Structure formats: C-alpha cells, structure tokens
C-alpha cells in the first residue's frame, strides 16, 4: 500500500500533463483556419441589370454558406469545392454545365478539373457534351482510374461505366446563349473573333485539417472551334492545389493561362520568392494584362487568406472563412 501511495503524486502529474496536452490540442485544432472562395467568371459584366446581379448574389451566397458548413462540420476541402462547383453547373446563370455557351457548330463542349493538395491527386474531363456535372466526373477520374484527363467520347464512356448521370444535350439548351453565339458570328470580321468573355466557375477551399483543394468548370468560349480545350482542365493552368502553400482556380483567356501556367505560378512565387498570396496573384494578373490577356483568379493560402484579382470589367466572386464574414462582389 505504501509503495502504491508513493507513486500517486507522479501519476497525478502524468495525468495532469496529458490532460493539459489534450486541452491545448483541442484549442489549437478548434482554431485552425478554414474557408472557401468561389468565382462565377471574369469578363464583360457591365451589362448586368440590378435584378440579374441580385439573382447571382443569391445563388453564390447560398452556395457559399452550404459549402462552408461542410468545412465547419469537419468535412474535406475536396467535398466542399466539388459541391460548390456542381451547384454552379446546375444553374443556367453561369458558363458551366447547364449554362454552357455554344461552339461555332452550335453544340456545347464542357471542361472541368479538380485537385487535392493533400497528395496532388487530380482529375479532369474535356470536350464532354452529355455529362450533367463534369466536375463530379473529373473527381471520379482520379478516384477510379490511373489517369488524370479523359476527353470526349472516352470520358462519356467512362461515365456510363460507373453510372455517372448522362443527359440528353437538350438539357443544356439555352436560347439566350444561342442568340449570343449568332450575334458573335455576325461580328466576325477579317478572321477577328469577338469573344464572349463571361465564363468559367471555380472554387478553392482550405479545411480544418489543413488540406487545400481547387476545382474549375467551364463551357469555354462562345464560338470556339469544336474540340478547342482551354486552361480549365489543364492542371497547373486553370486549377492548382498545394498543401502548406495555396490553391487557385483561374478564369479568362485560356490560351494565355496555359502558356504561363497561371494557377501553379501563383503558388510557385509564394514558395520560392516568399511573396504573399495577394502579391503573387495580383502581380500575375497584371502581367497578363500587359500582354493583352484578360481574366482573373481566386486563391486561398494555408492561413485562409484570400485573393481575388482580375483585370477585366468584373469578376463574380464570393468568400467566407472562420476569420471573415461572407463577402460577395462583381465589380
């Protein structure tokens, strides 16, 4: 008995140590930064009516709140960005999924990609015409195959094999987008394509575990050549996620974003030049403007700092983190 009693103070000290350690860990974990930022495309947005702006704000805000709850409840950033982008794909308000614009042959061809910064897993699809939610299929590409990018008929065949929803192309029909295409065609002079700049949706998130994910989806350019693929499904150009650094989703003139690997470049400058997220992303977008490339991007870093630079008339965007309230803006 005496021997057991002599060990009690030591045991009490050990128990107190573990108790304090658990309390400290809980405090730290409870204060982990997390959040999400989304975009609905950059471009010529000055013709949006007040009513249209309010409708877009409502959709973006509702989507942000639901995606944020995923993170708040301990869900993954990958689930949050997939959810947000699929919500935009289901809406005719944006140039992605159901709202996709038309090619020069009056069909819709959609691209999407998604990436996890945890292990750099990534999946993408391009030039799909019958996939209800391209972003969901993009995720299945890296979860169920050894590949990263599937295109056209091959992507749709894969979707059928795993039971991913296939829809009749009439699902994507838009009289508004068809009229826009024909208007653009009437303004093609001397091979100079007047492009519809509104396009692409995306989401980037940081979860409580410190994992960063990014996702991007688009219908591409109005009047694009059939088979044209922009930056959206190209990992490093339209989408990039890198734990402990940042995640990025881009929107704009895809050919330039591919040439300069814009999404990855943002993170590279942070990692190797010790720039802040704001410095890196803003500098790149301004550099693009200097060479005639229009667009923007959204980004989040390991501390849930957010940056949303653009060099166009406007960019539909919104964000919410555990450090800041919901924010929405177009201009």
Active site residues: 200
- What separation in angstroms does the CA of 301 have from each of 38, 141, 216? 14, 26, 17
Is residue 286 within 8 A of residue 311, CB to CB? The reply is: yes
Pull the structure tokens for residue 197: 């700049």
Is residue 123 within 8 A of residue 129, CB to CB? The reply is: no
Phi, psi of 270 (to 5 degrees): -70, -45
Beta bridge partner(s), residue 110:
128
Long-range contacts of 49-58 (CB under 8 A, 24+ apart): 53/330, 55/93, 56/93, 56/316, 56/330, 57/318, 57/328, 57/330
Q: What does DSSP say about strands 306-307 and 295-301: parallel, antiparallel, or unpaired?
A: antiparallel
Cα dihedral across residues 249, 252, 317, 196: positive or negative: negative
Q: What is the CA radius of gyration of the chain?
A: 22
User: Which residue shows structure tokens 């929803």?
Assistant: 165
Distance CA 298, CA 193 (A): 27
Pull the structure tokens for residue 188: 């093609």
Q: Which helix (H) or strand (E) holds 11?
A: helix 2-30
Other CB atoms within 10 A of residue 74 CB: 11
HEC string of 35-58 equals EEEEEEEEECCCCCCHHHHHHHHH
HEC string of 169-227 equals HHHHCCHHHHHHHHHHHHCCECCECCCCCCCCEEEEEECCCCCEEEEEEECCCCCECCC
């Amino acid at each position: 008995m005496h021997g057991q009693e002599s060990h009690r103070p030591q045991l009490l000290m050990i128990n107190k140590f573990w108790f304090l350690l658990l309390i400290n860990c809980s405090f730290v974990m409870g204060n982990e930064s997390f959040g999400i930022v989304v975009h609905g495309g950059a471009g010529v947005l000055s013709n949006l009516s007040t009513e249209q702006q309010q409708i877009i704000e409502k959709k973006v805000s509702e989507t942000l709140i639901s995606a944020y709850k995923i993170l708040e409840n301990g869900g993954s950033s990958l689930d949050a960005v997939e959810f947000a982008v699929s919500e935009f794909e289901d809406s005719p308000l944006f140039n992605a999924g159901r709202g996709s614009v038309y090619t020069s042959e009056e069909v819709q061809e959609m691209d999407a990609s998604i990436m996890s910064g945890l292990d750099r897993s990534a999946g993408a699809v391009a030039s799909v015409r019958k996939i209800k939610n391209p972003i969901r299929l993009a995720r299945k590409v890296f979860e169920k195959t050894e590949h990263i990018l599937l295109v056209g008929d091959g992507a749709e065949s894969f979707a059928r094999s795993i039971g991913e929803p296939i829809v009749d192309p009439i699902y994507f029909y838009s009289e508004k987008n068809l009229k826009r295409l024909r208007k653009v065609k009437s303004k093609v002079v001397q091979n100079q394509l007047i492009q519809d700049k509104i396009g692409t949706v995306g989401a980037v998130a940081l979860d409580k575990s410190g994992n960063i994910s990014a996702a991007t989806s688009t219908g591409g350019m109005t009047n694009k050549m059939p088979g044209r693929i922009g930056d959206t499904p190209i990992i490093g150009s339209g989408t990039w996620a890198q734990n402990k650094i940042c995640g990025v989703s881009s929107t704009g003139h895809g050919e330039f974003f591919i040439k300069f690997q814009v999404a990855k470049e943002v993170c590279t400058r942070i990692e190797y030049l010790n720039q802040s997220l704001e410095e890196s992303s803003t500098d790149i977008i301004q550099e693009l403007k200097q060479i005639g490339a229009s667009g923007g991007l959204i980004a989040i870093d390991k501390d849930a700092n957010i940056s949303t630079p653009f060099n166009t008339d406007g960019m539909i965007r919104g964000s919410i983190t555990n450090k800041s309230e919901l924010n929405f803006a177009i201009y």
